[in-house]
Every structure is written in structure tokens, then in C-alpha cells.
Structure 1
Amino acid sequence: MRVFGVVGWKNAGKTGLMERLVSEITTRGFSVSTVKHAHHSFDVDHAGKDSYRHREAGASQVLLASQNRIALMHELRGAPEPSLEELLAQLSPVDLVLVEGYKRDAHPKVEAHRAVTGNPLIAPEDPTIRAVASDTPLDIDRLVFDLDDTVAVADFILSEVGL
């Protein structure tokens, strides 16, 4: 599977860029899945719902299915967080998987950067970052795209992964 990441510090524009890239790339006829890393506890279930009650009762996995979608929740219950590689192996085949986060993994990435955050760039210290999408001009040894130029960033990613 072809994998390309979007990384950056908090409020750098990662999620907005991901959303625009998924829309742009699927409009071109490619199938895309996404993986998002969260640094905090999260819940996609709601208290009182049957699936929540199953999970709270101790189920390791709860599969919720309808005519519109399926959702598989897996409780780690103290087990280590799965690696990106293990998570990718669980996905159905697609043309491209876009990964938000997992900045320390070895897949190629583009860094989202907003000057207003005051955060330093990750790219100078990370050779897996192939380009930066920024809201301000940068003088670095990587390609720099305008953060809002989704078409150019999508062209770059598709070229990088051979699509």
C-alpha cells in the first residue's frame, strides 16, 4: 500500500490539509483511506448505547454494523499501542493511505506549518519530511508549498508515491 504522511505541531493546519487532500485526490479517481494518531484518550462511542455497554462490560472488540457503515472498536486494556505498520495491515486495500501524525515513523511526509504558532520546523531535522506546506515563505532545503495550495501538494504526493 502507498503511504504518505502529514505532520506538524498542534494548530499547524494538519487536519485541514488532510481533509482537502482527501477531497482532491478522491476527485481524481483514486481511493484513499486515512489514519489519524491521537495523543490523548478519545472515545467514538456514547454512554448508554449498546456498543458502549458491550465495551464497558469488558469486550476486547466491538463491531458495530449498519447498512451505511461498520465501525470496529478495539480496547487495548493495557496492551501496547499498535504500531503504524500493524494498523495499516488492518486496512482494506486502497490506492493511497494518508497518515496524520506518526511523525517519528519512516514513511514519507509533508509538514504543515503556520508561522503564528511560533513552533520550529520539524523538517530540518527529519529526512522523511519531503516538503513543507506553509502559510509563510521559508528558506529551507525542502520544497515549500503554500499551505492552501492543495492541488500542488496533492500533485507532489501523488508523484512521490507513483500515482
Structure 2
Amino acid sequence: MMHPPALAIVGWSGSGKTTLLARLVPELRQRGLRVGVVKHSSHPHPLHPEGSDTERHAASGAAFVAFATPAGVQLTLPEPAEPVLSLLARFADLVDLVLVEGWKQGPLPKLEVWREGLGPLLAAERQDVLAVVGDAPVPEGTRRFSPEAVRDIAAFIQQCLRDGSLRATN
């Protein structure tokens, strides 16, 4: 199943991933890209409030449960433990790029957001980190950006889109 180009924005909790994404999406949209965002968590989170109608529908075995309101739609799919790639494939015709917040262990190329004192630099051990956002010394061949350099990060992502490097590794 083919999915659109995707980049995982990874880093330790508190490193600034969400802040970077909140600034990066509008910049990429200004450049004409249709961008989707998936928040990945390896921790269980309840998707439906206990006793809610949607909880009952999900428990019934429905193929999907959607909660539609004037503010938007929340879609819940009963998927295997790592549904991200199958989820991305569902939106292939809707976006030019998907940014996945989290999913350090996933097969997507990564942009690491790093901050001193939160944990080791993933780029030092991983070949799938294309660039680091932060002030860490980076391995040779790995780009580094300041967290404020949103325009430069967007340009880098556009170059990765052009050269085809935003595909899953397996």
C-alpha cells in the first residue's frame, strides 16, 4: 500500500516537537503543500470517554467510528498496534506530505528535535535521522538547524520531497 511522502518529527518529551510542528505546518502550506499531521504515541490513551456513545460503537466491533461535530471529525479505526503506515495510505490523495509527531521506532525518515538534558541524541545511533533541530553536535553528513529557522527547515523538507528521500525504509 503506497502512502504519501512522510517525515517523523522525533525527540524526547519536552524537546519542542509540537511547537516546531505548529510553526512548520503554516510555513509549508504557504509554500503550496497540502500537509497532514499524525500524532503518534506509544502509550495507551482513551479515544472515547467512558460511557459515551462512541465508546459503545467502538466496543460493538464497528469497522470505524467517526464523531462529527461543527468543529470537525474525529475518526477512530480499529487497527493493529502500528497503524501509522496504513493510516497514511488512506490519505494519499489528500496530501503532499504527512508529518508524524513521534514514532521514533517507525520506518519513516526522521527530523530530530533535541534539547540538552532530555536524552541522548538519536542521530548519533540512527541512520534514518536526516537532520537535527537543536544545538547538539551532529554526525557528519547530518544537517542541523536552529529551532527558530523554520523557513530553512521547510526548504530542507521541500528538497527532501524533490529528491524522494521521504519514503519509509521498510
Q: Which category of TM-score, normalised to the shorter sequence, fits these structures?
A: 0.7 to 0.9
Q: C-alpha distance in 2, partners of 1:123/1:157?
A: 17
User: Corresponding residue for 2:22?
Assistant: 19
Q: Say whether 1:5 aligns with 2:5.
A: no
TM-score (norm 2): 0.80
Q: Is the 8 A contact 1:4 1:161 kept in 2?
A: no
Return 5+ residue gaps in structure 2 as ranges. Answer: 164-170
CA distances 1:22-78 after superposition (whole Å, capped 9, x unpaired): 1211122211001221121113433454323333555453122345533221345xx
Maintained 8 Å contact 2:66/2:75: yes
Compute the RMSD of aligned alpha carbons.
2.3
Q: Output the TM-score relative to the length of structure 1.
A: 0.83
The answer to whether the aligner puts 1:109 opposite 2:82 as a matched pair is no
CA 1:37–1:160 in 2, change beyond 3 Å: closer, same or farther? same
Of residues 19, 43, 46 in structure 2, which corresponds to 1:43? 46
User: Where does residue 101 of structure 2 map in the other structure?
Assistant: 100
Distance 1:54 1:83, change over 3 A: closer
Identity of aligned residues (%): 34
Assess, with a 3 A threshold, how the Cα gap between structure 1 residues 160 and 101 changes in structure 2: closer, same or farther.
Answer: same
Kept in 2: contact 1:2–1:161 (CA 8 A): yes
Q: Which residue of 1 aligns with 2:130?
A: 130
Q: Structure 1 stretches of 5 or more lacking a match?
A: none
Aligned amino acid, residue 39 of structure 1: S
Q: Matched residue of 1:11: which SS?
A: coil
Distance (Å, rounded) in 1 between the aligned partners of 2:148 and 2:51: 41
CA change 1:107–1:59 in 2 (3 A) is closer
Q: Report the counterpart of residue 65 of structure 1 in structure 2.
A: 68
Matched to 1:158, the amino acid is Q
CA shift in 2, pair 1:125/1:50, >3 Å: same
* Structure 1 runs of 4+ with >6 Å offset: none
Instruction: Name the SS of the counterpart of 1:64 in structure 2.
Output: strand
For the residues of structure 1 that align with 2:143 and 2:60, how far apart are their CA atoms?
51
- 1:103 counterpart letter in structure 2: K
* Letter in structure 2 aligned against 1:107: L
Corresponding residue pairs, total: 158
Q: Cα distance, 1:137 vs. partner? A: 5.0
